[in-house]
Structure formats: structure tokens, C-alpha cells
């Protein structure tokens, strides 16, 4: 992983560019020195669609992933299938997707994790990243802030709670929150801090063996609601899930919400409303069982008993 200028990448190997429509527009001037032979535009992360993507040329030697979370997630999976080395050039920091070695594919209303390729190289170019709105760029905090609710679920609902791993995870969460005032304004330094926290979170989960330290009810809520409202920016919907889940866990969410508000992190996807949140909460206990998700507050959640609490949550976040 390095910070530098993407336009300095000179590569004459026949390359496939894996990107999205929006990313392609902004990134064009940054990838002029790459020998792009084919371009794949990622539309969604449904397995059937992803499996149908093919490259025509046999001599493609490398994949360039230019985009945000979904492009990196799916691009690493395709590169794994096609046995290509991967260079990732993120266009916004919206999730930990550019750092990991697995990919969440959507099927049967859930997310199935598949092994995929870890990027051989990640080039973080501030000139490119700063073109994304700041509230979108810092939505990547979601995959670090989710430690807040993930650890709570782990501690309260799992048989094995690893105190040492949990303490480390808490340290990463606290480190990010302590940088609040440095992340307020757009700067490379701010994104460096966020990316470092994401990298530590990913590394910790990797060493532990799974994402239990950072994945709990907030992610499960996000997976479930996406069946109703369609694809959202991962960090944004996870951000919403953290506030809601933390509130339902009876945790004090003031500090987390204050952090999100201060750095202008986006946590209200445009297509979210009270009704769809309520429908999701009603469905969640069945959903987490059906999808075989790890234990969380949602396994035995009873919407009717929490009605009033949820009303006050809507008020608190101005939904
Ligand atoms: Zn996540």
C-alpha cells in the first residue's frame, strides 16, 4: 500500500480495467499510462451477474481496480477467478474492501463470503480521492466504528469472547475516534489515518480468523435492509446500522454519533425511511437465523417490545 500519484503508474502489460461508471469518469486522467485492453463496468454484486462477467482476450496479464467498495470487492473476486495480479486504485474510502482477501457475493437475500485475491498493490492518490465528496470518503469509518457494536454482540451473545483480541479492537476504535478533529477537514493526512485504522482492523480480523471483532448486528441490519432498498454505500448503511444497533443495545451512542456528525460522515442513505427500517427490524430475527449469521442482539429481537425506543431513535437522528 502506498500513497502516490496513480498517473505515474506505467504499465504496458495488456490490462483489464475493472471499474464503475462514476469512477471511470473521474479517474480517466489518472490512468493514461496503463495499457487498458478491456474495460469491465461493475453493476452489482449478485452472484449470478458476477459469474457471468467474462473477458474476451486471452492475453490479459493484469487487472486494475479503479473504484470504491463494490469495484474492489468484485474486482478482486474476478481477478482470483481469472488468476490475474491486481493493482487497486481506490477512488473513495467507503469500506475495507480494497484491503481484504475475501468477497461478499449476494445471493438468496444474503451475503456469501468467497475467497478472493488480496490486491498485490494499492495506490492511494490524494488528487484522485479528493474528487469524491468528503462525506462519502469518510464513510469508510463505518468498518472501524462497527467495532463498537460488533464487540458488544460478541461479548454478550457468543460462547467464546477473546478478551485480548477485543481489547486490541477497542484500541483501534478509540484511535480513530481520538483523531476526530483531524478528520473534520478533507486532507490526505485525514484519509491516511482512516486507512491505517482500516488496515489495522483488517489485520486483526485476519489474525483472529474471522471478522467477529468488527461485524455484528450493525452489518446484519445492513445486509437485510439492502434487500429492500437496493445497494448502498457500505460505510453509509453500516454507519446507520451502528447507531441503531448501539441504541438498541442500550449503549451510549453519543460519542459515536458526535464523531460521525463532526467529520460529516454520511449515515443516512437517501432511500431510507422509517417504514423500511421498521420492516427490516421485524424481519431481522428470522433473517439472521435463515442466513446463519453470528449471534447478535437481533437473534431474539422483538420489535413490538422496542417500538417506543425505536421511535425515540428516529427522533434522535432526524429520520
Ligand atoms: Zn463491512
* Mean pLDDT of the residues in the chain: 96
Q: Mean per-residue pLDDT for 219-239?
A: 94
- Are residues 83 and 58 part of one domain? yes
- What CATH code is carried by the domain that includes residue 215? 1.20.1090.10
- Are residues 296 and 214 part of one domain? yes
Which residue in 184, 151, 125 sits closest to 296, CA to CA?
A: 151
**Per-residue confidence band for 231, with pLDDT thresholds at 50, 70 and 90:** confident
- Are residues 111 and 54 part of one domain? yes
Q: Mean per-residue pLDDT for 194-205?
A: 97
Q: Mean per-residue pLDDT for 116-130?
A: 97
156-195 residue pLDDT tens: 999 899 999 999 999 999 999 999 999 999 999 999 999 9
- Are residues 73 and 116 part of one domain? yes
- What CATH code is carried by the domain that includes residue 76? 3.40.50.1970
> Where a domain ends, among 104, 129, 154?
129
Alpha carbons 15 and 17: distance in angstroms, whole number:
6
* Domain containing residue 289: 134-316
* Separation of CA 224 and ligand 1 centre (Å): 13
> Where a domain ends, among 129, 159, 179?
129
- Are residues 158 and 10 part of one domain? no
- Are residues 194 and 276 part of one domain? yes
**Per-residue confidence band for 299, with pLDDT thresholds at 50, 70 and 90:** very high
- Are residues 285 and 269 part of one domain? yes
- Are residues 110 and 40 part of one domain? yes
Pairing state between β 121-124 and 62-67: unpaired
pLDDT at residue number 271? 92
Q: Mean per-residue pLDDT for 115-141?
A: 96
74-99 residue pLDDT tens: 999 999 999 999 999 999 999 999 99
- Are residues 123 and 142 part of one domain? no
- Are residues 125 and 11 part of one domain? yes
Q: What are phi and psi of 240, to 5 degrees?
A: -60, -45
> What total of structural domains would you count in the chain?
2
Ligand 1 being an ion, which residues bring their Cβ within 5 A of it?
143
Alpha carbons 222 and 279: distance in angstroms, whole number:
13
* Separation of CA 88 and ligand 1 centre (Å): 18
- Are residues 234 and 94 part of one domain? no
* Separation of CA 32 and ligand 1 centre (Å): 32
- Angle between the N-to-C axes of helices 234-248 and 254-262, in degrees from 0 to 180, rounded to the nearest 10: 160
**Per-residue confidence band for 319, with pLDDT thresholds at 50, 70 and 90:** confident
pLDDT at residue number 208? 96
pLDDT at residue number 49? 97
> Where a domain ends, among 72, 104, 129?
129
* Separation of CA 205 and ligand 1 centre (Å): 12
* Separation of CA 95 and ligand 1 centre (Å): 6
- Are residues 150 and 179 part of one domain? yes
Q: Mean per-residue pLDDT for 43-63?
A: 96
pLDDT at residue number 107? 93
Amino acid at each position: 500500500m502506498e500513497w502516490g500519484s496513480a498517473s505515474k503508474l506505467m504499465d504496458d502489460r495488456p490490462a483489464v480495467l475493472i471499474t464503475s461508471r462514476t469512477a471511470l469518469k473521474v479517474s480517466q486522467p489518472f490512468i493514461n499510462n496503463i495499457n487498458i485492453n478491456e474495460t469491465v463496468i461493475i453493476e452489482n454484486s449478485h452472484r449470478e451477474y458476477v459469474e457471468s462477467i467474462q473477458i474476451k482476450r486471452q492475453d490479459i496479464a493484469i487487472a486494475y481496480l479503479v473504484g470504491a467498495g463494490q469495484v474492489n470487492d468484485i474486482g478482486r473476486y474476478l481477478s482470483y477467478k481469472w488468476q490475474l495480479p491486481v493493482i487497486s486504485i481506490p477512488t473513495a474510502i467507503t469500506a475495507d474492501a480494497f484491503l481484504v482477501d475475501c468477497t461478499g457475493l449476494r445471493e438468496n437475500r444474503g451475503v456469501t463470503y468467497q475467497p478472493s485475491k488480496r490486491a498485490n498493490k494499492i495506490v492511494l492518490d490524494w488528487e484522485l480521492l479528493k474528487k469524491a465528496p468528503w462525506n462519502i470518503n469518510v464513510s469508510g469509518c463505518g468498518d472501524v466504528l462497527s467495532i463498537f457494536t460488533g464487540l458488544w454482540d460478541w461479548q454478550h451473545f457468543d460462547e467464546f469472547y477473546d478478551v485480548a483480541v477485543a481489547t486490541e479492537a477497542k484500541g483501534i476504535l478509540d484511535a480513530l475516534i481520538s483523531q476526530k478533529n483531524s478528520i473534520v477537514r478533507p486532507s490526505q493526512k485525514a484519509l491516511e489515518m482512516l486507512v491505517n485504522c482500516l488496515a489495522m482492523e483488517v489485520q486483526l480480523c485476519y489474525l483472529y480468523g474471522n471478522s467477529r471483532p468488527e461485524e455484528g448486528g450493525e452489518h446484519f441490519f445492513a445486509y437485510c435492509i439492502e434487500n429492500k432498498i437496493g445497494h448502498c454505500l457500505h460505510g453509509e448503511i453500516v454507519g446507520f446500522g451502528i447507531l441503531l444497533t448501539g441504541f438498541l443495545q442500550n449503549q451510549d451512542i453519543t460519542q459515536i454519533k458526535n464523531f460521525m456528525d463532526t467529520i460529516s460522515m454520511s449515515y443516512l442513505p437517501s432511500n431510507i425511511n422509517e417504514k423500511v427500517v421498521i420492516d427490516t427490524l421485524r424481519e431481522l430475527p428470522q433473517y439472521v437465523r435463515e442466513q446463519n449469521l453470528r449471534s447478535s442482539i437481533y437473534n431474539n429481537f422483538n420489535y413490538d417490545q422496542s417500538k417506543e425506543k425505536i421511535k425515540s431513535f428516529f427522533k434522535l437522528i432526524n429520520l
